[in-house]
C-alpha cells in the first residue's frame, strides 16, 4: 500500500497541487493590486478627510496596493507560509469592501 507521505498529489493535467495553489495565489494578489490601482486612478478625489468617500477613493486603496505588491514579492521569494494570514486578510478585506461599498 502507498504511504500518504510519499504519494505525489497531482491535478488532472499533471501539475502538482502546490503549483496550482501558487498560481491561484499570484492571481489573487495580482488581481487585488490591479483593482486597487484601477480604483485609485478612476474614482473621484477631493473629498474632505472626514468623509467616507475620501477614505474609500484615496486612502484605503494605497495599503491594499502595497500589501498585494508585497505579497507578490514574497511569492517570488518562495515564502508562502508567511502569506497564509495575509491571503485571508486581503480576501476578507476585498470581500467586505465589495459588499459594503455599494450604496
pLDDT score for 37: 92
Q: How many Cβ atoms from other residues are within 10 Å of residue 61's Cβ? A: 21
DSSP letter at 2 equals: -
pTM: 0.67
Backbone phi, psi, residue 48, to 5°: -65, 155
- Mean pLDDT, consecutive 10-residue stretches, the chain (103 aa), reads 52 71 86 89 87 82 89 84 79 78 57
pLDDT for residue 77: 84
Widest Cα–Cα separation across the chain: 67
Amino acid at each position: 500500500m502507498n504511504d500518504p507521505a510519499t504519494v505525489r498529489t497531482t491535478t488532472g493535467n499533471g501539475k502538482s497541487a502546490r503549483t496550482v495553489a501558487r498560481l491561484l495565489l499570484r492571481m489573487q494578489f495580482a488581481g487585488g493590486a490591479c483593482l486597487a490601482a484601477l480604483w485609485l486612478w478612476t474614482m473621484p478625489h477631493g473629498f474632505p478627510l472626514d468623509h467616507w468617500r475620501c477614505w474609500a477613493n484615496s486612502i484605503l486603496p494605497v495599503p491594499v496596493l502595497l500589501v498585494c505588491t508585497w505579497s507578490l514579492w514574497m511569492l517570488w521569494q518562495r515564502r508562502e507560509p508567511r502569506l497564509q494570514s495575509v491571503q485571508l486578510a486581503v480576501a476578507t478585506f476585498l470581500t467586505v469592501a465589495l459588499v459594503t461599498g455599494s450604496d
